[in-house]
A and B are shown apart, each in its own frame.
Chain A
Amino acid sequence: GAGVSQSPSNKVTEKGKDVELRCDPISGHTALYWYRQSLGQGLEFLIYFQGNSAPDKSGLPSDRFSAERTGGSVSTLTIQRTQQEDSAVYLCASSSFLTGTIEAFFGQGTRLTVV
């Protein structure tokens, strides 16, 4: 696609429920990143994919968080048993080392609110 697409744009969920956040990167971009941005805070790295592999998942806050990428394209971030502290904007970005486009292109984010 023309840009990085994330869905849903907003998600309100009850504490304890599971949520899935989707990211559709720019076509042909091999690298995909998930970051989290809490209100008034900077970007917190969660996980990085190169193709379908995740060489760096060091930022996942707990085992309630998981992510996968299939076909070298779409990625899903899953949060199980959501807690109020999970409330944040979840940002996805992609880039392509192969074409020298090392800068990240970000989606508009998913605003997650846990009530």
Chain B
Amino acid sequence: AQSVAQPEDQVNVAEGNPLTVKCTYSVSGNPYLFWYVQYPNRGLQFLLKYITGDNLVKGSYGFEAEFNKSQTSFHLKKPSALVSDSALYFCAVRDTNAGKSTFGDGTTLTVKP
């Protein structure tokens, strides 16, 4: 079985400040981990993924995420938030032996000027 938890429904940050969107996961085997972003009235867009190797992965639009196996976490980060980063963010996990990904409930990020 696999599951994802995004403990915060909403994250608010000021423009220019660093942001973190939290994600923890559970899988029976080894994980593939993903972050997706959904802008209003648009489909989900892939941001970044962890497969293996370096625990810090970099993705689109200046986002990065750190895989922490001991804490089973994969938090999304950005050093300096932009108003245009405001969107709904989803974390997803897939066991390397599974076909489907399981998504978290999403976190709404609001960046205020």
Contact = CB atoms under 8 A, between A and B. Distances in A.
A108 interface: yes
B99 A31 contact: yes
B101 interface: yes
Interface stretch (B12-20, B44-52, B61-69, B71-79): B44-52
Given A42-B90, A103-B34, A55 B43 contact: no
Contact of B94 (A50, A91, A102, A105): A102
Interface in B60-113: 90, 94, 98-106
Contact of B101 (A50, A104, A105, A108): A104
Interface of B: 32, 34, 36, 42-46, 49, 51, 90, 94, 98-106
A45 B105 contact: no
Contacts of A103: 34, 46, 49
A55 B100 CA distance: 10
Given A42-B90, A42-B106, A103-B34, A91 B43 contact: yes
A22 to B, nearest CB: 15
